[in-house]
Structure 1
Amino acid sequence: MTPIPANTPERQRRRDPREERVHEVDALVPWEQRQLFTQLFGGDDEGSGRSASQAEMKGSSDLVMVQSLTEQLLPRLLSVSTLPLSVAMYLPRLGRINASIRRKKAGWDIELEAQQITTTSWLQDVRQQCERRLAESLALPVQLYVANSAPA
């Protein structure tokens, strides 16, 4: 009887010819490839596939975060019994947001104060979207204010 080794020998893998290529730095790149690269990764927004997708992604993430903010505010507005109302909310990626809610004769006044500077900036950018969404849901006008606060 012949002894059988415990470990079976591995087959040597075939070498890919691309691995053996020597990359030359001085090689000329065809004009079409340079144009394609410039369009995909160029700094201008026109014809730039990457910039367009980043803008779309930012817009969709803003929409989701606005929806999350209004979903946290609406139940509190609808069930409020004593005014003025102070609410502390926590939103993922935005942090803590304090809301001061007051009811006026013709609608609502809401002041938002974020703990993070980036969140304050974001709230200022999407303030009108939040106002519209809340006004549609409440069927009353909503005035949304963003407090300019510095972190402590």
Structure 2
Amino acid sequence: MPTGVFSTILLRSIFFRMLFKRLFKVNICAPYLFKTFFSFIVTSILMLFISISAVQAMSLPIRGAVKNSTETFTGTATVHLNGEGNLKLATSKGIACMGNFAFESWSKGSGKVQCEDGRLGTFAFVTGGFSGSGSGKIADESFDFIIGK
């Protein structure tokens, strides 16, 4: 009988082959068992990575202007992997605004914004990766904005 590490691996692969054959009535070779086990490990690692990544977010710059006005705004949109996000904006008049949004499809979304001066608004946007555009209405005024660079 062979001895050493190689013999241990050989005996284990023969054992698993016989076990598999008896349990599942399938004649299966050791490389298939290794491939299946390796696939299981890789899948488990990927699932763990995806679970950890779920808490990640990406921020993109936003800039825009209120129509028929000199008021502009800049800020960031933070997008989470679940398709929801939030806005932090500052107007050229020094007013801070915050909002939330959600994607309705892979490329379209909508949200609400509220400024510290009491104005409320809604908006819609379209994206194509790391950039996009949108428009909305706040109080009685319309605005347009660009997402990304």
TM-score if structure 2 supplies the norm length?
A: 0.32
**Structure whose residues are more often helix by fraction:** 1
TM-score if structure 1 supplies the norm length?
A: 0.31
**Structure whose residues are more often strand by fraction:** 2
